[in-house]
Every structure is written in structure tokens, then in C-alpha cells.
Amino acid sequence: MKKWRLFTFTSMLPESNYLFVHTLLSWHHENDRQLPWKVSKDPYQIWLSEIILQQTRVAQGLPYYERFLQLFPTVFELAAADESDVFKAWEGLGYYSRARNLHHTAKEVADIYSGEFPKTYEGLLSLKGIGPYTAAAIASFAYELPRAVLDGNVFRVLSRVFGIEQAIDLPEGKKSFQKLAGSLLPSEHASQFNQAIMDFGALQCVPQNPNCPDCNMQSICMAYQTGRVKELPVKAKRLVKQSRYFHFFEVIDGGHVWIEKRIAKDIWQGLYQYPHIESTDPLPDAGSVLWTGINYQDIIPVFSTKQQLTHRTIYAAFYRLARTRLKEIPDSWIKVELSRLQEYPFPRIIHDYMNRKEWLLLFNSGEK
């Protein structure tokens, strides 16, 4: 990989910022993460990587990035794809609104911009699902525009090194951090600086137990000097998590199973699931199950699990039910051959159930 000369462009910065930038780039010179999208100037590939990596670790996101490029090598293929195929490729990443916005934006770029992403920060920001951070990332990485990125890694590095106690989740705090990041940015080498500070936050200045003893920022890091590494960055809002309880019914009908599509504007919109009810507590009462037209005693509990999302904890219980117990089938249910069930995109919590040994035996045999 091409190695830049550190002093060439950092020497043009104000003296107060020079030491930080030079120290950062010195670290990155030896610790640059070798990732496929970092050597690309294709805005489609950069955009794809940024959307996938939102709320996702690099190790988890890399296989998805490679899968999307294999299935949809250009924005035109992605735009022409069926939404279910996009969801299926996205399956397991969570936050499916990202996949929905990804598909929408691909159509917009293909149809309105003839497949060419806007070449300005403002133009990129106008696209659905692209916020200030993603627009700045594409602008700097693809076009070398002088836009400083500001993600969780950058907030953390800046707050610790400069000892900033402003809350990163309040408007005034975000403005202050954006101003600082912009003042540090070498205008002609935006992509190198942005990659360096994000890599530093991801590898060195991590959220928990950062490697401070072996950090070359020790002498200039205010948090390290004052023993406040664990206290920074500051968040004003405390995350309130909600618990939700889902009860899924696996209705077997010969070699088929019944499923339904989630169409409401809620988690997992556009994905498929077993027919379900939601309750306010871990166990459904007998009356709540009568929506199927059966008695509570007719269902067989077989599995339970939970999934932790950012704002909520999902508790799921799975029950097995024979088709013969049902008086009628709701119009929203879809009858699917067991051998074709895995062609449909499901939320991860359903996959936790499907990956059980007992279910796999059922799937392979097609038995009742």
C-alpha cells in the first residue's frame, strides 16, 4: 500500500493540531487495516461498505460486503433486485431498515442519476439512508473532498485525546466535535486522515479496556493524563430498553409449513416469520391463544430464546401445532414447502430456532 510522507501535509496545520495529526498518522502508518473497500475509489462499493458497517463489526460485515458485490456487482443489479432477495442477502445483520434504504437508494441512483453517485457532499446527503457521516465518508474516500467523518470511533478518540466533556449525543456537542474534526483535517488528504482516525478508534482507542500502556498518544491524551479514560466520551441520554414477548406457532401441514410476512412498520418489516401473537409478559394466557381457533392445550412448547437489540430485548417462545387442530387459516398466512422454507428471509431469532437439531431433522425429513 502507498505510504504517504507525514510531514508534507501536516506541516500546514496550526501548531496546536499538528502533534495530534502527526502522531495519529504515524500510528496508522504501522497499523493500517487492510480491508477491500479501503483501496476502492468506487462510490458504490464505498457506500455499500458504509451501510453494512453501520451497527456492525467489521469481522461480521466483511462476508456480507463480499456477498453483496457477488450478487449485485453494480448499483444497477442492486436496483433491479427483488426486495426479498436483498433481505435474504442481508439476513442476519439486523436493522433491516438499512437494507430497505439501501435498495431504495440503489433505485434512485440508477434511475435518476444514471448509476452515478452525486459528487458533492450535499448531493450524497440528499439520498435516502445517507446521513452526515456516510455522506462525509463517501465524499472523502471516493472523491477526496475535505469532509471530516464523525462516527462512534471518532467521537471517542477526540473526546479522550482532547479531554472533551460535552455530550456526544446532544446537538451542541455534535457541533463542537464536528468543528474540531474539521480543524484537524488535512484538506488535500481527507481520506487518509479519516481512515486513520477511524482505525485508531477501532483498534487502539476501543470503548472498553483500551491499550493505553502501548499507545503513542499517551503524552498528548488528556483522558490518559487525568485518569478519565473510562469516563469519556460523555452521553447525556440513558438508553431505555423495552422488553417484547413473541409467541411463534410452527403449523405443520404434511410436508409444508405456514408462514406470514411482517408488513407493519415495526422491527423486521418485510421479513417472514411463523404466525405469532405478542403479549406483555413471558407466557401467553389461554385466552390469547384462542385467536387460532384452538385450545391452549393443543400447542406444544418446543423452544425459547432471546435476542438483544439496541433499544429492546426480544423474548421468543416457539410452539408446534398440527394443521388439523386449526378451524381456519387466516388469509395472511402463506403455505410453503419445507424444502423451500430457507429461501425466504427471516429474522435471526427465527434462525436460532431453525438451527436446532430437532428442527433440522424435521426439515430434512419433511415429516409431520
Catalytic positions are 50
3-state helix, strand, coil in the chain (%, to 5): 50, 15, 35
Backbone angles phi, psi at 314, to 5 degrees: -100, 120
Cell, residue 258: 405456514
- Whether omega before 146 lies within 30 degrees of 0, making that bond cis, reads no
Give the contacts of 178 (CB within 8 A, at least 6 positions apart).
Answer: 148, 150
Decide: 61 and 43 in contact? Cβ < 8 Å.
Answer: no
| Whole-angstrom distance, CA of residue 122 vs CA of residue 207 | 31
> β-strand 312-322 against 272-273: which pairing, if any?
unpaired
Distance from the Cα of residue 322 to its chain's centroid: 37
Q: Render 208-229 in DSSP notation, one character per residue.
A: SS--GGG-TTGGG-HHHHHT-G
Interior/surface letters 267-287, b for 16+ CB within 10 angstroms, e for the rest: bbebbbbbbbeebeeeebeee
Question: Which amino acid, one-letter code, is at 315?
Answer: Y
Backbone angles phi, psi at 256, to 5 degrees: -125, 165
| Whole-angstrom distance, CA of residue 333 vs CA of residue 252 | 13
Interior/surface letters 160-186, b for 16+ CB within 10 angstroms, e for the rest: bbbebeebbeeeebbebbbebbeebbb
| Whole-angstrom distance, CA of residue 336 vs CA of residue 340 | 7
